[in-house]
Structure formats: C-alpha cells, structure tokens
Structure 1
Amino acid sequence: MADRPHSRAWYARLAHELGGYCHPWARVLDGPDPELTFDALLAERLQPETHVLEAGCGHGPDALRFGGQCARWAAYDWLPELLDLARANAPHAEFSLWDGKGEIPSELLGPFDLIVSRRGPTSVIDHLNVVSAPDARFLYVGPRLDVPRVPERLAAVGWAVLSEWRVSVRAWSPSWDDWQTRCEFMGETANREDWDAHVGARGRAYQEERYVVLAGRD
C-alpha cells in the first residue's frame, strides 16, 4: 500500500528517495515563479545582526541559501530523516527536532528578529510571542491563494498583517505522470478522464499559486 501523502512515512520516503522535501514534477511557467516574492522579501530583511527562526525547514535549502547572510539561522522540523539532510546541507545553521506543538525546545526560544515558513507549518503562529523580539516580523508563503485562518490566527496572538500578496501564474504539466505527482503533493485527485479532456500540445494547464504574508506585532 502506498504511503498516505504528507504522512510521516511519506516524508521519510521522500527524504530517502529524493534527498529532501522536493517537488519532483516537471512544469513550465508562463511567467515568473510566484515564490520569488517570498525570496525577495526574505533576502531584503537579512542583515549581519539578524536572528532567524525557520519553521518546517525540510532538508535545509533555505538555511543553505540564506543562512550565511545573518547572525543566526535556527530551524526545526518534525522528521529526523529531513533534519539529518539539513545538517549535512547547511552545517552553519542550527537544527532542532520539533513538531510545533507543546513546549518549545530551549534552543528555539530566541529572541528572533525574523520568523519564516516556506509552505511549512502555520502552527508557529501560536508561538510567535514567545520566540520573537519586540520588532520581529513573520514571513510566510503558502501553496494556494488563500491559506485557511492565517490572518485570523495572527490576530488571535496580537499580530497584524502588514502586507499580503496573492500571486497566480499559468503553468503547464507536460505529462500524466507529472500531473499525478503534482496532485499528490497538493492533496488533489488526479483524474485520467479530466486529463485527457484538457491536455494539449504543452500538456495540462493549471495555475501555480502562492499566498505571501508579512506580519508584525499589532
């Protein structure tokens, strides 16, 4: 029986087979990658003295890419297999095993100037007031135009949405196998009849979407 998508066993298999939490399907975009908004906002907030906490770090690609631009990059994930990869990929960063629930590990108490989550857990919102410095910012990108309850959860802990971006770019999935893989990652059902009805010379068109939010204390 195949592992249930986004289960612990499923993530562990990705770590073993793909070397991390990667999106292993081919795609062609008709415009800029919508996740570049998150990249730009993150990069411009990094200073030599910045302390960053990353929620849901996966195999450490952001720690590798951005961690050398700040004073401290600490991160956590819930899967030991991914953390082993992250420590190998970004040895300059700090990694902790945590699922974002219950007591916060002492090494993650901060305070942090910037808390980030790239398509990772939104549960970190519940802990923002504990881990953040007074003027901290929270930066999140989600895989759909609307991520349920993010603004509401921020308001519940006294944080305000300073800016929001909803970016949608037409994309093409070139093969049935790629479409199946994408749907699995997105929690959607891949229907062969629907594929056959909509596939064209470039493959199956869909919208690549991102919701980006920047928040601070209200």
Structure 2
Amino acid sequence: MSGALNAIQRMDALAAGQGGFFYPWTSNLGAGDGEEAYAELVERHLSPNLTVLEAGCGHGPDVLRFAPQVARYVGYDFSEGFVRIARERADQAGLKDVELICSNSSAGANGGRPRIPMGDASVDLIVSRRGPTNFILDAPRVVRPGGWLIQLNPAPSPRHAWDDELPEDLRSEPARDFDIAGHISGLLAQADLALHSGWSFDVPEHFTDARQLYAYLAWNQFHGLGLRAQPLESALPSLQAVMAKHAGPEGLDLRRRRYLWCARIA
C-alpha cells in the first residue's frame, strides 16, 4: 500500500494515461442505467439566462453538452490534468462564457469546511455527474434562492456470488454496503436542505469476454489505490473458468447501480 497514490495523483495519472475519466472496458449495459436520466433531468432545468456550476467536471464531457444551453457555465475539478483537457475541448468546440477551474472543494483543502470556488449567491444550478459530494455543505452560500442541486452518484454493486473463485487480488473490496442515499441525505441535513427527489437505478451489465472482465475488475479494485492488478495473462485462466461456470446466455451478469437526486435552495 505504500506505493498508493492520493486522489489527485490518481486522477492526474488517468488524465495522462487515458486522456480523461472513462471506463476502459466493453460490456453490454441494460437500458435505464441512470446516466441519460441524469442528463435529461439537468436539461429540464437549463435555460439561456442561467449560471451553472459543475462540481467535478472531469475532462469536460458535460461541459460540451450543457454549456451551450446557458448564459454562463463554470466547472471545477481537483485534477489539473482533467481541467487542462476540458479547457482544450471547450476551446476546440468554440464555447463562450465557459470558465474551468482547478479547485478542491473538500474540507481538508479549505481549512476544515468544504468551500466551492464561487462567490455568494452567484449560481442558479449546481450539477455533478459522479463528482464530489462535499459541495453540498457550501451550496446554500453559493446558490441563489430557488436554485437547484442535481447529482448522479455511483452506488456500490453487491458482492459477486462467484467472488471467491476469482484471483485474490481481483475480489470485491470490503464495504460493499455503503448507503449512498443515506450519505446524501445526511449531507443535505447538515446544510439545512431537504431532498426533493431521489431515484435508484440497478441494471445488468453483461460481460462476454474474460479480457473485458479483467479490465473491469482491475479498474474497480486498483484504480482507487493507484496500483495495478496482476497481469492479464496470469489472471485469465481463472476468469475464463468463472465465465464458463456462471455466465448466462447474455454473458456474465454484474450490476450497475446509480443514485440520482435533486434538492432545491429555499
């Protein structure tokens, strides 16, 4: 564990190695996994006169989608590598009134209390796709009355029934029962806010190729630590055996879980 990278180093490494934050595997995902539901919910709240802030903008995919629909769009991320890529993409797309900031809104980076890099009552809407949740505590300061918070959060998948048949370093990490909905509700309560709406998504993600399964397992286990799994070649026989034993007609069934929520500033 001594070689583990911290969170910023991990994201900067992904920016350099992948050119952005995206999942490096191929699978067949069931419909309604929450990602498009998030985008559609955000777009229902957009209008040409709004100032929108994106918490955790990453390499900018939502900047390109949402910024043309509003008056001003600000995004921030704690990874300088991601922000640099997002700026390049926004410039290439010719986007105007877009500002992308390298900033860390966590309590640890701001003297013990989360802080969003915006002035008081300067934003109409905060959006976040798989970004930090710490912004919630500072949102009442930044968002104008009547404004909204909308976020899509990944939720832990259940432990696989075949987990013990995997190589040890590819097995599920502990703490698979983290309650993301409860976590969000707790942060909202601390900020004297109430949940307006919440939706849980749980759909199948099928793998038909043991190599793609390896990419999934290695990513989920090791990108979080900034470490690498054992080589594919040594893991492949065990993964092929798991798929031969447990895969159905559509492939090996894993779960993709998301939690989508929104809250309003009074």
Q: Considering the TM-score relative to the shorter chain, is it more than 0.5?
A: yes
Match for residue 139 of structure 2 among 115, 125, 128: 128
**By percentage of residues, which structure has more strand?**
1
User: Secondary structure at 1:16's aligned position in 2?
Assistant: helix
Letter in 2 for 1:82: F
- Answer yes or no: is the 8 Å Cα contact 2:205–2:254 preserved in 1: yes
Task: Tell me the distance in 2 between the aligned counterparts of 1:64 and 1:107.
Answer: 21
Match for residue 262 of structure 2 among 206, 214, 217: 214
User: Secondary structure at 2:194's aligned position in 1?
Assistant: strand
Match for residue 169 of structure 1 among 191, 203, 210: 203
Task: Tell me the distance in 2 between the aligned counterparts of 1:187 and 1:98.
Answer: 26
Task: Tell me the distance in 1 between the aligned counterparts of 2:80 and 2:117.
Answer: 18
Q: Identify if the C-alpha distance between structure 1 residues 9 and 177 changes in structure 2 by more than 3 Å, giving closer, same or farther.
A: farther
Task: Tell me the distance in 1 between the aligned counterparts of 2:85 and 2:55.
Answer: 16
Q: What does 1:1-218 align with in structure 2 at a 5 Å threshold? A: 4=4, 7-91=7-91, 92=95, 93-101=98-106, 102=110, 104=115, 107=118, 109=120, 111-144=122-155, 146-147=179-180, 149-187=183-221, 192=238, 195-196=242-243, 197-200=245-248, 202-217=250-265
1:63 offset after TM fit, Å? 0.5
TM-score normalised to structure 1 length = 0.87
- Answer yes or no: is the 8 Å Cα contact 2:143–2:265 preserved in 1: no
- Could you list the per-position Cα deviations for residues 44-66 of structure 1 after superposition, in whole angstroms to 9, with x for gaps in the alignment? 10000111111111001101111
Q: Identify if the C-alpha distance between structure 1 residues 3 and 67 changes in structure 2 by more than 3 Å, giving closer, same or farther.
A: farther
Task: Tell me the distance in 2 between the aligned counterparts of 1:151 and 1:178.
Answer: 35
1:6 offset after TM fit, Å? 7.2
Letter in 1 for 2:214: Q
TM-score normalised to structure 2 length = 0.73
- Could you list the per-position Cα deviations for residues 136-166 of structure 1 after superposition, in whole angstroms to 9, with x for gaps in the alignment? 1110111117415111110111111111100
Point out the structure with max Rg over C-alpha.
2
Percent of aligned positions that are identical: 29
Deviates more, 1:165-174 or 1:68-77: 165-174
Task: Tell me the distance in 2 between the aligned counterparts of 1:49 and 1:216.
Answer: 18
1:99 offset after TM fit, Å? 1.1
Letter in 1 for 2:207: S
User: Secondary structure at 1:135's aligned position in 2?
Assistant: strand
- Could you list the per-position Cα deviations for residues 105-164 of structure 1 after superposition, in whole angstroms to 9, with x for gaps in the alignment? 765555111111111100111111121111111101111174151111101111111111
- Aligned CA RMSD, in angstroms, stands at 2.8
Task: Tell me the distance in 2 between the aligned counterparts of 1:131 and 1:115.
Answer: 9
Task: Report the count of equivalent residues.
Answer: 218
Structure 1 stretches lacking a partner, 5+ long: none
- Could you list the per-position Cα deviations for residues 84-107 of structure 1 after superposition, in whole angstroms to 9, with x for gaps in the alignment? 001011133211111113174765
Task: Tell me the distance in 2 between the aligned counterparts of 1:170 and 1:150.
Answer: 24
